[in-house]
Structure 1
């Protein structure tokens, strides 16, 4: 997805509505484009500081520029999904302020931001302080669950999901979340840090090393790029890359199983968690909503849902595991869906 993508979901009188997803890997803003439509900006959630060569003033670089130009000292302050300590909170505040300033987000706005379902009250409060303490959101600032915000675009162009009973699964970088919603009310919220996009990245690192018989060692950032650029459940094609060798020279290598096998394992684990942990808990706590939700499409969102074929294969394996037909739908762009849904809620508030 490009950094600037326009949609036309808002009317002109809703121009102050802003949707935010401050994520562990990417941060997405859904803001007015000044022409009655919407635009989205997606940037890496990282920053680097440097000294101005002329004035000596400390300056902040964020996003892709920071990751490329200062790989030795770039800071990803939300690796665990939330700001955990004072340093990460300070970094997140500087990062977020730099992002909203760079994209001219209006201060007199109503801001809705997506919050992950993580059992970390202190971290959630830190995230709240970062966004609600920023220069935007003077009209109003509210938070809603990320799995709800992300599911809204999966069910149409408006806010129909708010009035439905459904199950949402967020296939994210730092957590996998699942939750049933009954007219916007959370039922049996579930999250796990054992089935994540970050874990896929770590497995790609190990798999590439094994596939090249120890000759190639890549970092997690490169592994994530391999996953995002080449991952494809049904139509994967082996690709080559080149690394510099110690002492000079280069080594060209081919990646085949190194990407496919970690993704395949991820799908199996995601199906197992949903079928054998989350859904039994939901059925035990809320039998009628459970029956209603499984009779309707399940929403799959988050960065891992962007991999071609993953949602379709998840649907197939989940149906097999449950021994019943399950339909899984996904937003057109799962990685930015949470900001999109949050912006729609903000529009309603305005």
Structure 2
């Protein structure tokens, strides 16, 4: 049997479709039936340890690595992209371990949701990670994260690919904004000054101020406070306990620190979108600017998960622009980019584009 005949036999069945978002904090994969997808998520980190009996090196990833080895765990995409050859290799190893542990299909069509960042070197490293990855033997494609995240927000199919709308991606490492016209990205804008990670830093600082210097929390704890308690609709103060030096515990209550930080984030995001991004878009594409504002502004990214943040953004942007603006987001913004990428991958399979 010739190599070509053997290859045809290996790939005679239809490949599976996968959507992947490798984020600075979490990695999300969506597979299976796009109407009821199987979604797997984990922290984008890994740690190595030496087997006490055999001396072999082993790898842990995700929550297990962060919990068991907090002193040596590596988050290889903290800035949103790999910053060095070392973190590139770590990210490759992370994807290999994650794919193996979750049984991701090598014979697959994969769409990656990637950030819009003006960093050619970092994007080249990310491309290297993607192309050498353990999945996507049939086809690998990449689409902007905000477009992928908008897909579940704008319908049950791929309506976002045919629409004209504005997207604002509220991520951990960047605030991104752009217009989309039938899937084409127009006037992409990105800033690293207004981010979910900056909110975490503010929460840590504000907790120290609110407790008169008695409590110092790390960024991981600050992020957990944000994810567990930030709520524009029904926020309630909460309490926590820390171990004091020399013994004993100290219980404290947080009244304002979390909401002050996320409230400032919304103000900063609205100001940047209304007064930097939108004037540039209007200058370059006035008709698209007008058409896009007739449709909902789609919020994507981890910060869009905070209850009530869509309504707050909508009201404040409307006030800033002096006109009524509607905003929306997917039912689960944290997994929306992977689920949207999954739908795109599934359509590519349907069209035999592999």
TM-score by length of 2: 0.93
Q: Distance in 1 between matches of 2:58 and 2:128?
A: 23
Alpha-carbon shift at residue 37 of structure 1 (Å): 4.8
Given that residues 116 and 145 in structure 1 are in contact (C-alpha distance below 8 angstroms), is that contact kept between their aligned partners in structure 2? yes
Q: Distance in 2 between matches of 1:14 and 1:268?
A: 48
Rounded to whole Å, the distance in 2 between the matches of 1:31 and 1:234 is: 33
Question: Contact 1:112–1:345 (CA<8 Å) still a contact in 2?
Answer: yes
Pairing 1:141–2:143 present:
no
CA deviations 1:11-50 (Å, max 9, x no partner) are: xx976110000000100001127x9952001101111111
2:21 counterpart of 1:21: yes
- Structure-2 separation of matches of 1:269 and 1:349: 38
Q: Does 1:304 align with 2:313?
A: no
Alpha-carbon separation, structure 2, partners of 1:93 and 1:332: 30
Matched residue SS, 1:129 = helix
Q: Which 5+ residue runs of structure 1 have no aligned equivalent?
A: 1-12
User: In 1, Cα distance between the equivalents of 2:125 and 2:100?
Assistant: 21
Aligned 8 A contact 2:302 2:334 in 1: yes
- Correspondence 1:110-189 to 2 at 5 A: 110-189=109-188
Post-superposition offset of 1:89: 0.5
Alignment of 1:274 with 2:273, yes or no, is: yes
Structure 2 residue 328 is matched with structure 1 residue 329: yes
> Take 1:241 and 1:90, find their aligned partners in 2: how far apart are those partners?
38
Output one character per residue of 1:135-184: Cα deviation in whole Å (capped at 9) or x when no partner: 21000001111111111111011001101111011010000110100001
Residue correspondence of structure 1 range 22-171 to structure 2 within 5 A? 22-32=22-32, 37-171=36-170
Contact 1:113 1:342 in 2 (8 A): yes
Matches within 5 A, 1:215-294: 215-294=214-293
CA distance in 2, matches of 1:231, 1:325: 26
**CA separation in 2, counterparts of 1:198 and 1:241?**
21
List per-residue Cα deviations over 1:47-104 (Å, max 9, x = no partner). 1111112211111101111111111111111110001101110110111111111111
Q: What's the CA shift string for 1:274-326, capped at 9, x where partnerless?
A: 10011110000000010000011110011000000111101010011111110
The C-alpha deviation readout for 1:181-201, integer Å capped at 9, x for no partner, is 000111100001011000000
Partners of 2:15 and 2:109 within 8 A in 1? no
Q: What does residue 3 of structure 1 align with? A: none
Structure 1 segments, 4+ long, off by >4 Å, are none
Q: Measure the CA separation in 2 of the matches of 1:123 and 1:275.
A: 28
The equivalent residue for 1:313 is: 312
Change (3 A) 1:15 1:153: farther
Q: For residues 93-128 of structure 1, give each alpha carbon's deviation from its aligned partner in whole angstroms, at most 9, with x where no partner exists.
A: 111111111111100000100110000011111111
Partners of 1:157 and 1:98 lie apart in 2 by: 32
Q: Decide whether the 8 Å contact of 2:225 with 2:258 is kept in 1.
A: yes
Q: Distance in 1 between matches of 2:253 and 2:125?
A: 43
Give the unaligned 5+ runs of structure 2. 1-12, 350-354
* Larger Rg belongs to: 2
**RMSD between superposed Cα atoms in Å:** 1.3
2:151 match: secondary structure: helix
